[in-house]
Structure 1
Amino acid sequence: MLLVTIAFIVLMLIGMPVAFAIGISGVVFFLQHPELPITIPLQQTISTTQNFALLAIPLFIMAGNLMNASGITEKLLDLASVIAGRMKGGLAQMSLALSALMGGVSGSAIADAAMQSRMLGNEMINRGMSKGFTAGVLSFGAILTPIIPPGLGFIIYGTIGQVSIGRLFAAGIVPAFLLWAALAITVSIVANRRGYPAARTTRASLPEIGSALRGGIWAILFPVILLAGLRFGIFTPSEIGAFAVIYAVLIGVLAYRKLKTESFRQALEGSLADIGAVMFLIALSAIFSYGIVLERVPELISGAILSVTDSFYGVLTLIVLFIIACGFFIDATVLIIMLTPIFLPLVRSLGGDPVHFGVVFVVAATIGNFTPPVGAAMYAVCSILKVRIGDYTRESVPLMIAIGLVALLLVFVPEAVLFLPNMLFAR
């Protein structure tokens, strides 16, 4: 696998799209083993796409795009203003609240960060916030998005690792609010020190609160309905993806009345591009994964880690550090696809809960979206707001520390992750 790894790194460094880099480096493995039928890469690519459980991925992507096209974002922004507008650094606090509310809608940290940068970024800067801090808040705040149901990372991890997606959805809720609280406290401290103003000076009236709640209730109910449907056995994960699409269409047409023919067409076009990118990546990664299993890479890595420590928390800490380090260079979706078959068996062998590990894994992998040198959300925000990477990195240190502390809490206090799924679902 050494030559395969070198090929993958070289292809990534020369700027090749990651799906092709994974697929080509996987084929290199078969060229090293002429005794293996050369038809296996094609068979693996096709057979992977026939996995019925993967049907949930395109359905939830389509549901998220349809919800965004329905005009729900503006309603959620009004609700975020009511929730956090009067706090110091009000627009920054509003962006964090909006990320929490948007988690069940967009499902993508990169998309959420880019969208909020266009909506709030320039206004935050105009109200006196530094460019670096503004970009940091808008970027790091998007970490809430993929761990609030229906997070795409959980669907991919659950499908590959054969872990209950319903339990994963439930397990993401408490960590999401812990991350929100940590980031909100950090923003509040910085805003008080620098004198950043609140977004609004008056308390929201009861009619205004009622109007904001009515406008945002459909998005708030979205993850609740998903969890209820899975908890009571009404839907399988794939079936509830189809329900999510229907729900998004009904909300856009009947509740908000903004999902017209043109916006519907644009949502479908965007969904095709997003689905094609994700599914193509999953299909080509099957070639790479075949070599990993055949070469017994999981066993080799497990042995190397266990030679350092056999403590469960020690092993989990090493895994998290490795995932974060990889996330500095590789996209979170790719990490979940490539590393789940390697690390999940090790965690299970040590008696760890796969749901607990899944949440920790997704949080650790997502951190890379916000950090140099290749963080996709970081580049999206900095390019939109014209912020230098150095300024962004320096101003984001307090936010990174806040997220790191919560990540440590999630590692060493599994109950913070497992409390809700154990309460809602059978163990």
Structure 2
Amino acid sequence: MTSPIKENGSVWLARGLETALAAIVGVVLALMLALVLLAVVLRYVFGTGLIGTEDLGIWLNVALISLAAPLAMSGPLAMRLDLPLGPRTQSISRVVADAVSLIAAFVLAFGSARVVALIGGASPTLGVPEWVRFAVTGTGGALIAVILVLRRIGERQFPSLAVSAGLAGLISLACLRMNLATALPASAAIALFAAIGLIAAAPLAHAFLAAALVAMPFGGNLAPETMVTTAVSGMSHFLLLAIPFFLLTGTALSASGAAAHLVAFAASLVGHRRGGLAQTVLATGTLFSGASGSSVANAVFSATTFQPELTRRGYPPARAGAIIAASSVLDNVIPPSIAFLILAAATDLSVGKLLVGGLFAGLVMAASLAIAIHLTTRDQPGGERASPGERKRTFLAAVPAFGLGIIVVVGIRIGIVTTTEAAALAAAYTLALAAFSKTRRTPLFSIFRQTAVEAAAIGLLIGSAGPFAFQLAIDGVAGMLSSAAGALGGSPAAILAFCVAVLLAAGLVLDIGAAILLFGPLLLPLAAGAGLDPIAFGVIVVTTLMIGGLTPPVGMLVLVVGGVATIPAAALFRAVLPYLAALVSAVALICAFTLLI
């Protein structure tokens, strides 16, 4: 048996490695931000630029995702499905989940090593050998395995770790050597095995990568090296740099105290109405969505800020959590929206036009939720009506936060700056607010470290969905969907109803980012062929999939709020039904408007 000294040493080593990685990725994120801000200054002030800025930014983003991936195995953005299981079942689930993560680590490490051995040439703008980017990705995969093993040793989980490692090794070896004759399409095999990994509470990105390998014997067309190149290609878009920058914006805004001013202003507007505190939660979510762009981030913020006060005021805990979860939907709809950034990267739609459409859709959804809250909080009187002077005071205090809307929406829509540049400027703006804030307690570099880990979780999910999307294309799933839609008739209303049904079904089992990457490119040509406006349809894709954040079994927003507020997921899923109905009604209104334009 391993001695306590060695066990404590493994814990110390794991924490030391994680601390070092967190510092490295924090520096990488700071370099990315500095690079884009320098490019903005050179472009708009001096009318010049730097050769290779975009390529360097992409390479840094890939390095950020790869090196922070081991740190993103836990936390709300890891997209784990934590089901209420008994002790024995939970032990089995952990073994399977760890095996899935180890297989994913093998795909990244082994596949990258194969690419490094085969690839040649250098970046034409940077002069750096192309294999460097894949070497960093392979290093990230190896570190996933190392940190996972060290964590389990520190937890004294030796038998389960041995079983997980053995299972992962046997499956990986078998998948590389076996060939099974079956009628099951490879994409269906990926979906099935990814679902098994998700049910076992493995991170969704790990489940996708492991499932792509497990699908090889069933006719999968992707070898590990192809999986890695597909994943890295999915992460290699300059537009995706906006994701860590928008996350940085939201984190810095909270640290600066400006988010608290938004809460005060929202309370002055609606706090006096019936269910005033619940309406304040919704109004805050609507205002805060203009900063974070992440529904999960707002769910964590609101659950921490409002849940205790709502329950103290007499709201049943499940209803309070349901209101918070439903209000958090707006963050990925009202700009800036990370979901729209992912959709634009996957489909080449205009980000600016999507954000404007998202603003309209978000306000419709907010109005629907306000009505639902009014109807479900009849026993909750409002507070005192704020005076005009108090409203003016809270508005002026919140003005610095409103400046983000001008930078992001106006700047992008008018075309003054690109989406990535606007995100970098918004991040710089909120970092300045945090730097000069008298109430800030979080060190600025901690903001960079935290954001880098959150961005890596999203970035790895984007990359890991690439092999699945590629296999869907090979299996002709787009043609199958087109045939199924054709059987319902070719009218725009029928096609739109079919697409919404597919998206609602996808939202039941997939995180919104993965669902956008998989179904956006499949359904958009179908909708465009029926004469639907592509931008309006893109807005429907995001709004419909966001509803999946509230539906079982993978209602991510419900699970996040339940985890923060310690409320059983089953109770939250029941309590969220009225607000879910309101959001479905809002999507129906948006669809009706789309058919009219």
2:412 matched to 1:412? Answer: no
Change (3 A) 1:244 1:19: same
Aligned to 1:337: 517
Task: Calculate the aligned-residue CA RMSD, in Å.
Answer: 2.1
1:326 to 498, 502, 506: 506
Aligned 1:246-325 pairs, distance under 5 A: 246-254=428-436, 256-258=437-439, 262-325=442-505
Which residue number corresponds to residue 423 of structure 1?
Answer: none
1:203-256, Cα deviation, whole Å (9 max, x unpaired)? 3223321221112112223123212212332211122122122111222234x4
Contact kept? 1:370, 1:376, Cα under 8 Å:
yes
SS in 2 for 1:234: coil
- By how many angstroms is 1:53 displaced? 2.3
Listed one character per residue, the Cα deviations across residues 183-210 of structure 1 (whole Å, up to 9, x for unaligned) are 1112112223xx2121x22x32233212
Question: How far apart are the structure 1 equivalents of 2:233 and 2:585?
Answer: 41
Note closer, same or farther for the CA distance 1:8–1:354 as it changes in structure 2 (3 Å cut).
Answer: same
Which segment drifts farther, 388-397 or 244-253? 388-397
Deviation, 1:109, is: 1.5
Is 1:145 paired with 2:325?
A: no
Q: Which residue pairs with 1:208 in the alignment?
A: 390
Match of 1:126 in 2: 312
> Within the alignment, does 1:44 sit opposite 2:44 as a pair?
no
Q: CA deviation at 1:396?
A: 2.4
2:255 pairs with 1:83: no
Q: Matched residues in 2 for 1:78 and 1:91: separation?
A: 11
- Aligned twin of 1:422: none
2:119 alignment counterpart? none
- Unmatched 5+ stretches in structure 1: 419-427
Q: Which letter maps to 1:196?
A: Q
CA displacement at 1:296 relative to structure 2: 2.2
Q: Secondary structure at the match of 2:377?
A: helix
Please name the residue that 2:348 is paired with: 162
Residue identity matched to 2:449? E
Match among 184, 187, 197 for residue 381 of structure 2: 197
How far off its partner does 1:287 sit? 1.6
Point out the more displaced range, 52-61 or 338-347: 52-61
Structure 2 CA distance, aligned partners of 1:284 and 1:311?
35
Q: Is the 8 A contact 2:532 2:594 kept in 1?
A: no
Match status 1:174 vs 2:356: no
Aligned letter for 2:426?
Answer: A
2:370 and 2:222 map into 1 onto residues whose CA distance is 54
CA 405–35 in structure 1, closer or farther in 2 if over 3 Å, else same = closer
Look at both structures and tell me which one has the larger radius of gyration over its CA atoms.
2
Match of 1:5 in 2: 191
Corresponding position: 1:229 with 2:415: no
CA contact (8 A) 2:265 2:395 kept: yes
Aligned pair count reads 411
Provide the residue aligned with 1:367 in structure 2.
Answer: 547
CA contact (8 A) 1:68 1:106 kept: no
Instruction: Give the distance between the partners of 2:215 and 2:532, measured in 1 at CA.
Output: 32
Quick one: distance in 2 between partners of 1:156 and 1:373? 23
TM-aligned CA distance change 1:284 to 1:189, over 3 Å: closer
The 1-side partners of 2:302 and 2:501 are apart by 29
AA of the residue aligned to 1:106: S
Offset from partner CA, 1:67-119 (integer Å, 9 cap, x none): 22221221111101101110011110100000001101122222212221221
Quick one: structure 1 residues 389 and 245, their matched pair in 2 at CA, closer, same or farther if it must change by over 3 Å?
closer
Cα separation, 1, equivalents of 2:222 and 2:502: 31
Contact 2:254–2:260 (Cα < 8 Å) also in 1: no
| 1:137 aligned partner, one-letter code | I
User: Identity percentage over the alignment?
Assistant: 25
Looking at structure 2, the residues matched to 228 and 25 of structure 1 have their Cα atoms a distance apart, in angstroms, of 42
Letter in 1 for 2:333: I
2: distance between equivalents of 1:389 and 1:37? 38
Partner Cα separation in structure 2 for residue 106 and residue 233 of structure 1: 21
> Are the equivalent residues in 1 in contact too, given 2:239–2:345 (CA < 8 A)?
yes
For residues 53 and 155 of structure 1, what CA distance do their matches in structure 2 show? 7
8 Å contact from structure 1 (residues 249, 259) kept in 2:
no
Aligned partner of residue 306 in structure 1, secondary structure? helix
Which residue in the other structure is 1:116 paired with? Answer: 302
Q: How far apart, CA to CA, are the structure 2 residues paired with 1:94 and 1:47?
A: 42
Question: Mean Cα displacement is larger for which, 6-15 or 386-395?
Answer: 386-395
- 1:244 match: 426
- Name which of structure 1's ranges 157-166 and 182-191 shifts more when overlaid on structure 2: 182-191
Q: Aligned with 1:10: secondary structure?
A: helix
2:579 matched residue in structure 1: 399
- Asked if the contact 2:550/2:580 (under 8 Å) is kept, the reply is no
Taking the aligned partners of 1:226 and 1:239, their CA distance within structure 2 comes to 9
Residues 208 and 231 (structure 1), Cα distance of their counterparts in 2 relative to 1, 3 Å cut: same
Contact 1:110/1:369 (<8 A) preserved: no
- 1:259-296 alpha-carbon deviations (Å, 9 max, x no partner): 57x43122111111111111111112222222222222
Distance, in Å, in 2 between the alignment partners of 1:139 and 1:36 is 38
Higher relative contact order (CA 8 A, sep 6+): 1
- What is the alpha-carbon distance in structure 2 between the residues aligned to residue 263 and residue 306 of structure 1? 57
- 3-state SS in 2 of match to 1:172: helix
Deviation of residue 406 (structure 1)? 0.7
Partner of 2:527: 347
